[in-house]
Amino acid sequence: MKIFSNFDTNRKQEAYQEAIDKFWEDRVLLLKKSGLFFIEKVFLPVFSWTLLLALLLYGFFIVGSSRGVIWYFIVAIFGIAYLIVISPNIKYYLDYKMDFSLVTPMFLTRYNQSGFFKRDIKSSSVKNIKTISIQKDSFWYNLFDNGDLIFLSEWDRADQGEITLHYIYDPEEKRKQITHIMRP
């Protein structure tokens, strides 16, 4: 669904298909955030805040004997506060659904959706990538086989010497696939 020119929910599939058409399926890898990211950053916080709001409103409903205009005012205040509190989680949901990276024999391309009106696409030449490291530094990363893929490159733009992709499922296997794709 394309809402704005920078907000296209089909962009991931379109970019992946374009890369397959150009390099063949075995020479293209799509990297996206794992389910652990969704659980940690979206589901658990939104579920917790929703449960807290429901309990508070239920408490006010039970305590309040007359549910007139004040009740509607309390519900409105809590509703607005709820939307403010979960707004970062909405951004994380956009990251989960719309951020991805493509590895091809020529480029590592990262797509980053930063809201409804901003999308960044950055490409780094595969020739400039010197090492690929894996960092698993948390209990949850190890428990759910997630990690950060860290690409060290040189002779690239000044701000892209280290490229980190967070919350990648089975990073060891992904690193093997990436090195296979990068081989000439």
Which range is least confidently modeled, 2-6, 85-89, 180-184? Answer: 2-6
3-class SS letters over 97-110: HHCEEEECCCEEEE
More confident call, 8 vs 173: 173
For 174, phi and psi rounded to 5 degrees? -65, -40
Q: Over 70: is that where the pLDDT of 137 sits? A: yes
Quick one: pLDDT at residue 92?
Answer: 94
Phi, psi of 154 (to 5 degrees): -135, 165
* Residue 93 to residue 87: CA distance in whole angstroms: 10
The mean per-residue pLDDT over the stretch 151-172 comes to: 81
* CB burial of residue 85 (10 Å; 0-12, 13-18, 19+): middle
| pLDDT surpasses 80 at 25 | yes
Task: Work out the average pLDDT over 50-65.
Answer: 83
> So what's the pLDDT on residue 67?
67
Alpha-carbon distance of 124 to 108, in angstroms, equals 5
Query: Which residue type does 52 have?
Result: L
DSSP H or E run through 3: strand 2-4
Confidence check: pLDDT of 42 > 90: yes
> Residue 62: which of 16, 54, 111 has the closest Cα?
54
| pLDDT higher than threshold 80 for residue 1 | no
- C-beta neighbour count of 162 within 10 angstroms: 11
Query: What pLDDT, on the 0 to 100 scale, is given for residue 64?
Result: 66
Flag the least confident range among 119-123, 125-129, 135-139, 159-163: 159-163
Better pLDDT: 6 or 32: 32
pTM: 0.83
